[in-house]
Structure 1
Amino acid sequence: MSASIYDFSANRLDGSPQSLADYRGQVVLVVNTASECGFTPQYAGLQSLYAQYKDKGFVVLGFPCNQFGGQEPGDSAQIGTFCEKNYGVAFPMFAKIDVNGDEAHPLYGYLKSSAKGVLGTEAIKWNFTKFLVGRDGQVTDRFAPTTKPEELAKQIEAAL
């Protein structure tokens, strides 16, 4: 069993590997994203949170996923262009991953076991499920896709 998110790495949109240990000491919001989802406008709120708190040690990590209604069909270049052009996303975006099932990225296995969903379920239900991680790399909260990013400001400020 992994001790924190720092035990994992993932590929960035450009294909380069990124150790999550590089975010040690920061408050991290991990979000599975999609470009063609009803919640896609949350990119704007996520970017706003990132811009507001990044200088205080906060980062958003976006993980595109195509497991929910095929709502992230693009490749890495298309995802990056979409996020930047439509929402001005400047926070780190990663290569498309699975968050559920046998092919789920190990980071998501850790996140789901650390902070269970409604009725104790581990499975990610939809795009834009959010996990707040403290400066120690431990998951502190899990938020539903319907929770708007701006509703997380108090928890982020408390973690900072």
Structure 2
Amino acid sequence: MSDQSKSIHQFKVKLLNGIDKKLSDYKNKVLLLVNIASGCGFAPQLKELQALRDELGTDQFEVLAFPSNDFGRQEPLEGTAISTFCEVNHGVKFPVFEKIMVRGEHANPLYRFLNQSSTPRWNFHKYLVNKDGEVVDYFLPFTKPLSSKVKKKINRLMNT
């Protein structure tokens, strides 16, 4: 059993529809947490994130997206507009949460926790979390979700 203080499973966050979601609901799944922004040049990665999820399935893996306006004011959208952008333009079916701050003193508690391993310097910073909810790695924004580096690390975690 993992130490809850070292796990993201201690947090609760709001989905875009305003419903609270306990991250402990994702126990025993490998997770890729990504701060996203609709106006970012990396936004096409949303399609790749969905393709990765489709390829790996959702039994042992999930992508969690957190819209943020922290970098270059690249997330001007709110609520359902974010959802529509993700679904219509990129086919996103993975969970997208409410827009949050991911850095600084007003960062969401989940991101204050994640930032202990690496602070995002831009949109589409990706945290890799093991089945126990522990952050085990991160990928910079220019690392594509379908890269062999990302897929190998996720597969390794899924098989442990």
Q: TM-score, normalised by structure 1?
A: 0.92
Offset at 1:3? 2.2
Secondary structure of the residue aligned to 1:149 is coil
User: Amino acid of the residue matched to residue 99 of structure 1?
Assistant: V
What is the aligned partner in structure 2 of residue 16 from structure 1?
19
Counterpart of 1:70? 73
The match for 2:103 is 100
Q: 1:82 aligns with which of 81, 85, 96?
A: 85
SS of residue in 2 equivalent to 1:137: coil
**1:158 matched to which residue of 2?**
156
Q: State whether structure 2 residue 109 is matched by structure 1 residue 127.
A: no
Structure 2 CA distance, aligned partners of 1:139 and 1:132?
Answer: 6
CA distance in 1, matches of 2:98, 2:68: 9
- Structure 2, gaps ≥5 residues long: none
Identity score, percent: 46
Give the Å deviation of 1:109.
1.1
How many residue pairs get matched?
153
Q: Which amino acid aligns with 2:27?
A: R
Deviation at 1:112, TM superposition (A): 1.3
Distance 1:87 1:53 in 2: 18
User: Which residue of 2 is the match for residue 53 of structure 1?
Assistant: 56
Runs of 4 or more, structure 1, over 2 Å off, are: none
Measure how far apart 1:2 and its partner are: 2.5
Q: Which residue of 1 aligns with 2:145?
A: 149
Amino acid at match of 1:97: I
Q: Is the 8 A contact 1:9 1:17 kept in 2?
A: yes
Aligned residue for 1:158, secondary structure, equals: helix
The match for 1:138 is 134
Q: 1:103 offset after TM fit, Å?
A: 1.1
Separation (CA, whole Å) in 2 of partners of 1:112 and 1:2: 14
Conserved? CA contact 1:2–1:110, under 8 Å: no
Secondary structure at the aligned position of 1:86 is classed as helix
Shift of 1:53: 1.3
